[in-house]
Copies of this chain bind each other. A is one copy, B any other.
Amino acid sequence: MARILVVEDEPSIQELISVTLTRTGHDPLRAPDAETALRLLQAELPDLVLLDWMLPGQSGIDLARRLRGDERTRGVPIIMLTARGDEQSKVTGLETGADDYVTKPFSPRELAARIKAVLRRQKPQATEDPVEIDGLRLDPATHRVTARGAAVVLGPTEFRLLHFFMTHAERVHSRAQLLDSVWGDHVFVEERTVDVHIRRLRGALEASGHDALIQTVRGSGYRLSCQKD
């Protein structure tokens, strides 16, 4: 769910893009001109900018330059929209610092693919290093968990949960913190749901000989600990 600033003066195209973005799970911010765009850029700091190259008044290239000149907005990737065959724009655009371009007319699918590609390129994946505690080993790269050699099968959520515990061991985490870190800060689920997943995780670990790895701290939350108490 990325917030994407759409700088486009033609209302119908603006609408088309915004609908496409919403449908692909993004959050469009609309700007019909450079001024609005600049304001929204400062206020919202979007994750990506879709920039029409031909804007009334200040042109897209100027906007791109100012965007790249500002410390705060420098890192925001730009995808520019150009008319078909306007190769010159393409060149200057990429030189100004656009990350990709889409030529009009474009298909919603292409647009979505470009956005996805740019966002993916932008975000280096999380820590990929294997973690090992007390004979229990979790490897994000292979997505495998083993307990003293024996495979442990986990669902996606249990996997993330265990990963979080192993990278933050010995520390007590409230249900709210776990929801934030493992589920994501925007989802709304009951806190008790954590209990259920803890149970599932414990079940899988006990089947592999790891008892009491995850401890309950009554009134506070849960903790992963190798010290038995």
Interface residues of A (CB under 8 A from B): 84-85, 87-88, 90-92, 94-95, 103, 105-110, 113, 116-117, 120, 141-144, 151, 153, 155-156, 170-172, 176, 180, 185, 188, 217-220, 223, 225, 227, 229
Contacts and interface: CB of A to CB of B under 8 A. Distances in A.
Nearest to A153: B229
17 contacts: A84-B85, A84-B87, A94-B107, A94-B109, A94-B110, A95-B108, A116-B176, A117-B185, A141-B171, A142-B171, A142-B172, A143-B217, A143-B220, A143-B223, A144-B229, A155-B218, A156-B219
A103 to B, nearest CB: 8
Q: How many copies of this chain are found per oligomer?
A: 2
Contacts of A88: 105
Nearest to A229: B151
Nearest to A116: B176
Contacts of A106: 91
Given A91-B110, A143-B220, 17 more contacts: A84-B85, A87-B103, A90-B107, A91-B105, A91-B106, A92-B107, A94-B109, A94-B110, A95-B109, A109-B188, A110-B188, A141-B171, A142-B223, A143-B223, A144-B229, A151-B229, A156-B219
Contact of A107 (B91, B117, B172, B185): B91
| The 7 A-B residue pairs with the shortest CB-CB distance in the complex, in nearest-first order | A156-B219, A151-B229, A143-B172, A94-B107, A91-B107, A113-B188, A143-B217
A180 to B, nearest CB: 8
A161 B124 CA distance: 24
A53 to B, nearest CB: 14
Contacts of A227: 151
B220 A156 contact: yes
A55 to B, nearest CB: 21
